[in-house]
Amino acid sequence: MSYIDKFEKCIKERAPIFASELSRTQLAEPDAFKRLAEPMLHWAEIALGEMWAEQLVDGYCEFVLDVNKSQLKYEKTGRYENSSFAEVFEKAYDNPEFMQLYHWGVFTTTFVWTHHLRIYKFFEDHFLPMLRKLPAGSPIVDLGAGSGIWHLSALRNVESLKIEAVDVSAPTIERSKKMTDTLGYSDRVKHHVSDALAWAPQQPASAGISCFLLEHLERPNLLLSNLANSLAPGAPAFVTSALTAAEIDHIYEYRKESELVLACEQAGFRVRAMFSAEPETTPRDRYFAPRSIALVLQKRVNAIW
């Protein structure tokens, strides 16, 4: 039985009401779903052990319920619930049990939510071809690497890359390192417990990644500036963020795609491609449409180029 079959069986038995989105995504993007879900579920087994499917389903269910609650509050108030790291730390980050469920809930949305899977397709179509053109052994930085989904996907598809994975959370880095070592990538990934806003590589990197971190920061422009400073001129980067999508630990509110485009340009990037996606199930009478945006960037060589 494949990992996908095991996960599908588990969610239908354990939480059948939540299985509908999985079915929609499988029907909408069957090939991309197989390409991403099968390896990600294998990674989850490495990290979680025998009960990996149950833990993913439980995390996904809790995360979706929390997101729906946060989005409804956002509709009523017109603002995110929390606006500072201190608030989020008190309500979420300082609760290990909550964060365990939250982490694996976010992980699972990457392939279960149709609009998130389409972000991955955009990554495949527009960013991976740029990585394949890099010289063998080119260093890639991943700022706010989290579980490592994006740089592991890059490693799977481009054999010669080297990764510098940076995250402020020691447990997250420990979990990511275990996964990397088990998959046989230990010689291709260096892990750093450090602040993504301040960490700097020893030499400018050939490409960069920073996914779904901007909305968690009080000053996201500092992350974009540090990403640009970490790259060689002309180097590509892949950046994602949430727009008008409320979650308990979302702090910075982007309302328009153009806001993020402008921020990237101000940080020293040229926008090469952009894709904005939203859940097809969002009611059309909602004031805010929760979206995910992905951008393929290139560090400018000069002020105009």
| pLDDT given at position 82 | 95
Judge whether 174 lies within some domain.
Answer: yes
Per-position pLDDT tens, the chain of length 305: 899 999 999 999 999 999 999 999 999 999 999 999 999 999 999 999 999 999 999 999 999 999 999 999 999 999 999 999 999 999 889 888 889 999 999 999 999 999 999 999 999 999 999 999 999 999 999 999 998 999 999 999 998 899 999 999 988 899 899 999 999 999 999 999 999 999 999 999 999 999 999 999 999 999 999 999 999 999 999 999 999 999 999 999 999 999 999 999 999 999 999 999 999 889 889 999 999 999 999 999 987 77
Residue with tokens 């402008």: 262
Q: Are residues 78 and 174 in the same domain?
A: no
Q: Are residues 36 and 64 in the same domain?
A: yes
Judge whether 100 lies within some domain.
Answer: yes
Domain boundary among 90, 112, 134: 112
DSSP state letter for 92: I
CA 72 to chain centre: 23
Of the candidates 183, 184, 165, the one whose C-alpha atom is nearest the C-alpha of residue 173 is 165
Question: Which two three-digit tokens encode residue 48?
Answer: 């979680």
| pLDDT given at position 94 | 87
| pLDDT given at position 287 | 94
Any idea what the Cα angle at residue 29 is, between residues 185 and 59, rounded to 5°?
A: 60
Q: Are residues 168 and 254 in the same domain?
A: yes
Residue 244 sits in a domain whose CATH number is: 3.40.50.150
| pLDDT given at position 189 | 96
What is the C-alpha to C-alpha distance for residues 133 and 158, in angstroms, rounded to an integer? 10
Q: Are residues 132 and 244 in the same domain?
A: yes
Domain containing 176 equals 119-299
